[in-house]
A and B are shown apart, each in its own frame.
Chain A
Amino acid sequence: MSSRLPHALSGLAAAGLLMAAGQSSAQDQVELTMYYPIAVGGALTEVIDGLVTDFEAEHPDISVDAIYAGNYDDTRVRAMSAIEAGDIPQLSVMFSIDLYELIEQDVIVPFDDLVQSDEERAWLDSFYPALMENGRLDGKTYGIPFQRSTIVFYWNKDVFEAAGLDPERPPETWQEMAEMGAAVREASNGEQWGVMVPSTGYPYWMFQAFAFQNGHRLMSDDGTEVYFDDPAAIEALEYWVSLANEHNAMPAGAIEWGTLRQNFIEQSTAMMWHSTGNLTAVRNEANFDFGVAMLPMNTQRGSPTGGGNFYIFKGTSDEEQRAAMTFIRWMTAPERAAAWSMETGYMGVSPAAYETEALSNYVEEFPPAAVARDQLEHATAELATYQGGRVRRALDNAVQAALTGQMSPEEALKQAQAEADAALRRYAR
């Protein structure tokens, strides 16, 4: 996108000079810059800073500047903007589904080109396969799982008991969830809601779960096609809408992603669907007994995976890329993955993480910590396509339009399909 050259050129030249200067002055220490997002509760910046400090202590030849850049969208914008300005970060944690965008902008390197030893090749294969789905394209690995999640089901056992439900038994099916939700609503005389599924922030993600539980995948493997208006998808959205309209189990209108945890903590809802990344925050804040389970099913169980992967960027020196590799390997090593999982609720990204003493003890003492992992066998890749911003927005709008009663689920999804097709028209293979 450089139709006007003089500025761009002088800028690049200036940036080049700066970078050259930076390199020569810091020869003995490799300096890495990394952007990272946070999309769930808790003081996660402190956790990251702590990890970075530990890493630097172990690797005095590498220093890491970890920059908190907001939510996933903000982080993409920041990293891309830095790259465009010639101030290229060596690595970043970004949305796993940014893969297509990053490939299209031609800014990332596949890890296959960076691994050297057999040990490193084995490391590439050490993660849960379901978490690698969003990080691979055309046989190459571009994203290494870090803060990864699935959607899990949280329920308030005290409220269940008060409503005459078995506090130890979460709903197994869509039907049960609707009924239990309605029961809570009724038992509380309209003081509490039965269930809340967030519909701002990442509505397409929640919808993907409904669709997959109904046996339907929303996109092709190569990111060039989506299937939003399939009958199974429409049925899934109809069910979501019916939770408010028919069953009176969920409030009408959009439900805010960010304040939903607070709703659950304040006991204004008995059940919620949310990222597993919120688990530790809920545990710290809830003053009632709560449980975590897999999402309910219709024809099958299911949740999309979600969250952030590590990427390494083009245009940095070999030495820097090696250092970035070292850092990423350190951050994803079983002990760190275990610690990270316990601090946040995000998944331990490899089976080895759950085999560490720390995490296996933790899971034993606090079983909800294993739910996201157990759900992985029912997981599907998160919605990722070319023109991802537009395509996701089309689906987000459809979900919100249906939930707020502006359109029927069918109308809304047909429109989203048309918008997504238009955005993807240049990519058909």
Chain B
Amino acid sequence: MTTPTAAAPTTPSRRLVRVPSLETTAAWLLAIVWIFPLLYALWAAFHPLAFMVRFDLLAPLTLDNFTNAWNQAPFERYYLNTFLLVTGIVAAQFVVCTLAGFAFARFPIPGKDTLFMLVLIQLFVFPEVLIVENYRIASGLGLVDTITGIGLPYVASAFGIFLLRQTFKTIPRELEDAARVEGCGWMAVLLKVYVPLAKPTYLAYGLVSISHHWNNFLWPLVVTNSVESRPLTVGLGIFSAPETGVNWATISAATLLSIAPLLVAFLLFQRQFVQSFLRAGIR
């Protein structure tokens, strides 16, 4: 990074006239526009249908829309499925990507760079693009309509392997050597030295992965058939497809039901989420 070198006369007064209220206004306006759709969904979900487009501060509040949505689709099952799916994927990703990242970071494998490039290709060729063939493969393996079937294609995540490899590479060899002197095998070294030191990476990757899979739709849509495996997004998509003509207030309530857990988690741990996306974004 370079610093501009030209010298010039000083005009210290400029700082004082900065922070123009115009800028603040613009920032706030944009923020209101950006958050408005969610506020609107809240409004629609908590009021009777008749108030969808009629704003009246005294409009009666109601929970009926939530009751209706809850009764019309098995949301409790969808929650369970999504929960199992997301935890399953993240756990499996941690294991598989840790092993692979460790291998790439520390082992002398012939053709390692080529192999690594091959892995990185998956950053671009993700399971959704290959829905047709991946569907046939899942079908051949008997994985259609199972939660495993939704998750498995995402387990060997190039992104996760890359992140963990980068992190492991920054860990000083001396720590590893010390552990080996104490007689630790490779697995022990991995678990006692590398994994603990990579905790922030796991947190970051985990949060990103959770939000991605909580929200994923196309592949789960293709590979699930029944309530037993359908995650929230697919359940919501089927529930609120416009042809069904389900009424809007109910859809709003269903939409809020589906996003609530992640949204609440986000609002509570905003800093961690943002940090995680940042850390994970440097790929």
Contact = CB atoms under 8 A, between A and B. Distances in A.
Contacts of A70: 237-238, 241
B24 interface: no
A257 interface: yes
A68 B234 CA distance: 12
Q: Residue among A67, A70, A74 with the most chain B CB within 10 A?
A: A70
B217 interface: no
Contacts of B56: none
Interface stretch (A51-59, A78-86, A288-296): A78-86
Contacts of B72: 43, 45-46
Contacts of B246: 41
B244 A7 contact: no
A158 interface: no
B144 A82 contact: yes
B122 interface: no
A40 interface: yes
A262 interface: yes
Contacts of B145: 81-82, 85, 87
Contacts of B281: none
A141 B245 CA distance: 31
Contacts of B125: none
Given A11-B140, A15-B142, A41 B225 contact: no
Interface in B225-243: 225-227, 237-238, 241-243
A39 B139 contact: no
Interface in A65-99: 65, 67-71, 74, 78-79, 81-82, 84-87
A285 B247 contact: yes
Contacts of A84: 139, 144
A246 to B, nearest CB: 29
Contacts of A38: 244
Nearest to B135: A81
State the majority secondary structure of interface residues on B: helix
Interface string A269-283: 000000000100100
Contact of A85 (B49, B139, B244, B247): B139
Contacts of B140: 6-11
B245 A261 contact: yes
Contacts of A82: 144-145, 225-226
A191 B145 CA distance: 49
Contact of A201 (B68, B73, B242): B242
Contacts of B238: 68-70, 74
Interface string A234-265: 00000000000000000000001111111000
B245 A278 contact: yes
B242 A35 contact: no
Interface in B129-147: 135-137, 139-142, 144-145
A129 B225 CA distance: 33
Nearest to B141: A11
Contact of A40 (B49, B144, B227, B244): B244
A6 B238 CA distance: 33
B248 interface: yes
Given A11-B142, A82-B145, A262-B247, A67 B226 contact: yes
B144 A87 contact: yes
Nearest to A274: B245
Contacts of B49: 285
Contacts of B5: none
Contacts of A418: none
Interface string B203-214: 000000000000
B245 A281 contact: yes
A4 B135 CA distance: 13
A70 B145 CA distance: 15
A14 interface: yes
A104 B199 CA distance: 55
B21 interface: no
A1 to B, nearest CB: 8
B68 A43 contact: yes
Contacts of B13: none
B142 A14 contact: yes
Nearest to A41: B245
Contacts of A6: 140
A103 interface: no
A422 interface: no
Nearest to A277: B245
A18 interface: yes
Q: Residue among A8, A68, A86 with the most chain B CB within 10 A?
A: A68
A327 B136 CA distance: 32
Contacts of B248: 262
A43 B69 CA distance: 9
Interface in B97-118: none
A259 B227 CA distance: 26
B244 A256 contact: no
Given A41-B246, A43-B68, A67-B227, A74 B142 contact: no
A258 B242 contact: yes
Interface string B127-166: 0000000011101111011000000000000000000000
Given A46-B71, A67-B227, A87-B225, A256 B141 contact: no
B244 A259 contact: no
B148 to A, nearest CB: 13
A39 B222 CA distance: 20
Contact of B244 (A81, A86, A258, A262): A258
A358 to B, nearest CB: 24
Contact of A71 (B141, B222, B226, B244): B244
A40 B225 contact: no
Given A10-B140, A81-B225, A278-B245, 18 more contacts: A7-B136, A7-B140, A11-B139, A14-B142, A18-B142, A41-B246, A65-B226, A68-B238, A69-B225, A69-B238, A70-B237, A74-B241, A81-B222, A82-B225, A201-B243, A256-B242, A257-B243, A259-B242
28 contacts: A7-B140, A8-B136, A11-B139, A11-B140, A14-B141, A39-B243, A39-B244, A41-B244, A41-B245, A41-B247, A65-B226, A70-B238, A81-B145, A81-B222, A82-B145, A82-B226, A84-B139, A84-B144, A85-B139, A85-B142, A85-B145, A86-B142, A200-B242, A258-B242, A259-B245, A261-B245, A262-B248, A285-B49
Nearest 6 A-B pairs (CB), nearest first? A258-B242, A7-B140, A85-B144, A41-B245, A11-B140, A70-B238
Interface of B: 49, 68, 71-73, 135-137, 139-142, 144-145, 222, 225-227, 237-238, 241-248
